[in-house]
Amino acid sequence: MITGYIIITLAVTASPVAWFDTGKTVTLIAAIISILIVLYTTFHKSSREKFKVRKIAGLRAVEDAIGRATEMARPVLFTPGWGGDIQRPTTIASMNILSHVAEKTCQYDCRLVYPTHDPVIMAVAQEVIKEACARAGFPDRYRENDIFYVSSSQFGYAAAVEGLISRLKPASIFLLGTFEAESLILAETGNINKAIQIAGTDSTIQLSFFIVACDYVLIGEELFAASGYLSQDKSILASVRAQDILKVIIAMLLILAVIWATINPDSTWWRF
Amino acid sequence: MVAFLMNRLGPQIICFVFGLVLFAVYFSAHPVARQINTTVLVDYWQIIFAFTLIIGVISFVNLSVHDIKRGHNRFYRFISLFGLVIMPVFAVIWGIKGDSPFMWMFDNVQVPMQSTVFSLLAFFVASASYRGFRARSLPATVLLVAALLTLISRSSLEGALPSFIAGTADWVRGNPSMAARRAILIGIGLGSLTTSLRVLLGIERTWLGGEK
């Protein structure tokens, strides 16, 4: 109420500054084109016809990783990293994979441990795992105590998860989300404990650490395609197709800009 | 019906409306737009975080008490609970300024512990590099050579070595390495865009708990 009042007061007494920031015109056009392409591929019937999604090794290994943990009677550890909060697309993408992993672990009656640094993520993860257990047909296998908040401090979180890996010795570890300096600490600890590790993040610096320390790494858009890949939902897969269309457009623009800049080095239009 | 409204439809509508508003606000430099941005992203977020932090602390205490009762990691759990209780007590009684017990604990207990965990990275980088840079194939050999060039160009040896080493290392970082990073970043950007749209349009509902 108070916020609404402040906003209305500000609107009434608004300064004559333009509502639209002209410096962001190109960004707006690019955003609208991208949104239209995503909407078209998602909702247009013929665009949703069958198309092939290439095999992603990291996602194909999810079931093997859970199967391994079940056979070894050891838990699966899933953590979203310290760097992100629930607003980040990476965290949302990680939740999509968590849902699939939780469903499988429930089916196989395998323990799933989920430590996190953010209480909001903890609350969402509890809901996701609870729903996944219900979907698997085993709501009684949901263990609320295994999805917990450890610390908001970066190295407090790293130490807590490292300790968990060393004590519980999980057979499979999923490091999917937003990671910062703690990425290598966790991945190397998992490696020392001989866990099969599937990792993915949106930081190119941390990706290089995961590549040397983990068995499978989801690189770039693979993390975001996981939801459609695992669920085979047509709407989600169609939006993955939109990513490819946009990528082709960006590549064509880059080629055009390179040719233009080579022919006319003084031109600047392509520097938007 | 009420549960559906509260757990599914309500959050989805709020998500769509706020997503749309924040998208529009991004393209405006108007003071009202900035105010909306600050209100939603800073004020609302802090209020939500404060409440969920309580849930987080309750979860932590529950888990610790549960483990102590069952005799699991009893010593660690006692230490964690002691820290959780003693720091707010110090802060409330003596404040958090200068030479207060709170700051003493922070400077002499928390900071050294954080530095200790951070310093583990040095050893982990060495062990990971040892595994990653073994020249078992042609790509691995190329990686090893690039890593060595970068390492030497950033060490104190650089002045004693021919200048082309630093030049080559800079070229590797600025061209092939940067090109690969940008390709990955474009993929991440597009992935983020489609994921965000799926969430806003309600195609992706995992964050609400599931499909139904």
Q: Distance between CA A164 and CA A151 in Å, rounded?
A: 13
pLDDT score for B43: 85
Beta bridge partners of A110: none
* Cβ-based contacts of B27 with chain A (< 8 Å): 20-21, 24, 27-28
Q: Please state the separation of Cα A174 from the chain's center in Å.
A: 12
Put simply, whether B70 touches A (Cβ < 8 Å) is no
- The answer to whether A120 and B49 have CB atoms below 8 angstroms apart is yes
Which is higher by pLDDT, A76 or A84?
Answer: A76
Of A41, A150, A254, residue with least CA distance to B61 = A150
pLDDT for residue A74 is more than 60: yes
pLDDT score for A100: 92
pLDDT for residue A54 is more than 90: no
Put simply, whether B48 touches A (Cβ < 8 Å) is yes
SS (H, E, C) chain A: CHHHHHHHHHHHCCCCCCCCCHHHHHHHHHHHHHHHHHHHHHHCCHHHCCCCCCCCHHHHHHHHHHHHHHHCCCCEEEECCCCCCCCCHHHHHHHHHHHHHHHHHHHCCCCEEEEECCHHHHHHHHHHHHHHHHHHCCHHHCCHHHEEECCCCHHHHHHHHHHHHHHHCCCEEEEECCCCCHHHHHHHHHHHCCCEEEEECCCHHHHHHHHHHCCEEECCCHHHHHHHHHHCCHHHHHHHHHHHHHHHHHHHHHHHHHHHHHHCCCCCHHHC
Of A141, A271, A24, A45, residue with least CA distance to B25 = A24
Nearest residue on chain B to A89, judged by CA atoms?
Answer: B192
Return phi, psi of residue B28, to 5°.
-125, 140
What's the pLDDT tens digit per position in B84-130? 999 999 999 999 888 899 999 999 999 999 999 999 999 998 888 88
Nearest residue on chain B to A225, judged by CA atoms?
Answer: B191
Q: Which of residues 23-42 of B touch A (CB under 8 A)?
A: 23, 26-33, 35-36, 39
Mean pLDDT for all residues in chain A: 87
Element at B113 (helix H, strand E)? helix B111-132
Q: Distance between CA A187 and CA A193 in Å, rounded?
A: 10
Return phi, psi of residue B73, to 5°.
45, 45
pLDDT score for B166: 84
**What is the mean pLDDT of the segment spanning B75-80?**
89
Give the whole-number percent of chain B exceeding pLDDT 70: 97
Q: What is the least distance, in Å, from the CA of B158 to any CA of chain A?
A: 24
Check A90 against B192: CB less than 8 A apart.
Answer: yes
Return phi, psi of residue A151, to 5°.
-170, 150
Check A211 against B203: CB less than 8 A apart.
Answer: no
Q: How confident is the model at residue B211 (pLDDT cuts 50, 70, 90)?
A: low
Q: How confident is the model at residue A175 (pLDDT cuts 50, 70, 90)?
A: very high
Residue boundaries of the structural domains of chain B: 133-212
What's the pLDDT tens digit per position in B119-177? 999 999 888 888 877 878 888 888 888 888 888 888 877 677 788 888 888 899 899 99
Nearest residue on chain A to B206, judged by CA atoms?
Answer: A96
Of B20, B35, B47, residue with least CA distance to A5 = B35
Q: How many CB atoms lie within 10 A of CB A91?
A: 27
Put simply, whether B194 touches A (Cβ < 8 Å) is yes
ipTM: 0.84
Put simply, whether B210 touches A (Cβ < 8 Å) is yes
Give me A229's structure tokens: 């890949």
Q: How many CB atoms lie within 10 A of CB B212?
A: 11
Of A61, A72, A69, residue with least CA distance to A106 = A69
pLDDT score for A188: 94
* Cβ-based contacts of B63 with chain A (< 8 Å): 145, 148
Which is higher by pLDDT, A192 or A45?
Answer: A192
**Is the CA virtual torsion B13, B17, B22, B27 positive or negative?**
positive
Residue count of chain A, please give it: 272
**What is the mean pLDDT of the segment spanning A14-30?**
79
Check B28 against A21: CB less than 8 A apart.
Answer: yes
User: Scanning the structure block, which residue is given the tokens 């989300």?
Assistant: A177
Nearest residue on chain A to B15, judged by CA atoms?
Answer: A87
Check A221 against B187: CB less than 8 A apart.
Answer: yes
DSSP string of B41-102, one letter each residue: IIIIHHHHHHHHHHHHHHHHHHHHHHHHHHTSSHHHHHHHHHHHHHHHHHHHHH-SSTT-HH
**What is the mean pLDDT of the segment spanning B55-64?**
89
Class of domain A57-230: alpha beta
What's the pLDDT tens digit per position in A259-270? 988 998 888 776
Nearest residue on chain A to B109, judged by CA atoms?
Answer: A156
Residue boundaries of the structural domains of chain A: 57-230
